Structure 1
């Protein structure tokens, strides 16, 4: 994983929050993992102060949990059944798409389009696809302008072990992404929500 520099962030705490959040979402820091502030400070080349502040912020997001004796650990989400997680994800992401319609700008639509075109060019087993797919969906979440929704989706993707794995082909997924983008471009909130919901639920999840 390429770690960005502090120049990309308002503060060192912002940087550490973003890096740890990414490691949790991708599963590199798995559920139940104890987070040692000294080790993280050395890894990110910062003092322990921004790491400590980052832990508190991530705890407020529900990604880590603090304990007086053990310190901070990555939260162990109750994953439930895979089907249940897909239903929750479909409902929340459809809401995110609906909220994004009046808020997304042309730059956002273009970013989604570019990501989708990158995915379109990949071979079926290309290992770059999951990361591009995750970026596509989280870009959509961000344009909902709902920090709570984004935090919940991070937890849900963590419960799905870094994101959903499905039997649908990449080509099919790309075409469904295109339908979502088209609805966003037309400012059709109902169509965006429906296309997004069908995109999540119109496939068979893998356990």
Structure 2
């Protein structure tokens, strides 16, 4: 284990352990398929094995890791079957979230969306870090679900959010130029339609946005 994992603060150690391991997965420290060993994680994070075990159980409920009796815990692989399942579900959720937010979003919600798009554009104009762009991408959609104001819809989003974050990172790694060229314009158009667009056009674009990501990721996996 390298020094990439800092010590966990002495509060809510299971949650802190989950947060730190999740961040390490998203940073690429633990790639898809990598083993997550309780003893090594506990030593690196400075917590008990019990706290690590509880933290990994949280990540398993998010779908980000897999484990079971008589086998170790690993980061999920990015398979075509998983991609099809997650992005099909996401298309339905995003369509509902967008059309609901079209009716319920406050001026503050819309301003946050605009600012996130501006942050994406600024990132591309600068160093254009792929992981930062993906984090902004996910944050943009978090804000749409917040604007929709439907707690059960948000809960459904959160069941796939971590998996989706990992898949989007894989998408960016596999076809970064394609992702970089589209990410700002696609999200800017969604933000504009959420403010004043035709609801049917918004619903269609929300689904097309997800389908484009799905196709791009599957092409990258095939390559």
TM-score (norm 2): 0.67
What are the within-5 Å matches in structure 2 for residues 88-127 of structure 1? 88=88, 89-101=90-102, 105-123=106-124, 126-127=127-128
Distance in 1 separating the partners of 2:82 and 2:58: 29
- Show the counterpart of 1:162: 170
Give 1:200 deviation, angstroms: 4.0
Segments of 5+ residues of structure 2 without an aligned counterpart are 146-150
Alpha-carbon distance between aligned partners in 1 of 2:7 and 2:99, rounded to the nearest angstrom: 31
Q: How far apart in 2 are the matches of 1:187 and 1:2?
A: 45
TM-score calculated relative to the size of structure 1? 0.71
Q: In the alignment, what sits opposite 2:184?
A: 174
Q: Per the alignment, do residues 69 and 98 of structure 1 end up closer, same or farther by CA in structure 2, a change over 3 Å counting?
A: same
Secondary structure of the equivalent of 2:170? coil
CA distance in 2 between partners of 1:132 and 1:4 (Å): 27
Q: Which residue in 2 is equivalent to 1:193?
A: 203
Change (3 A) 1:195 1:34: same
Q: Post-superposition shift, 1:121?
A: 2.6
1:197 and 1:166 mapped to 2: Cα distance?
21
1:74 aligns with 2:75: yes
The count of corresponding residues between Structure 1 and Structure 2 is 204
Q: 1:149 aligns with which of 150, 157, 166?
A: 157
How far is 1:54 from its partner? Answer: 0.9
Q: What corresponds to 2:40 in structure 1?
A: 39
Higher helix share: 2
- CA RMSD between the two structures: 3.8
How far apart are 1:117 and its partner, in Å?
Answer: 0.9
- Which residue is equivalent to 2:29? 28
Q: Name the structure 2 match of 1:59.
A: 60
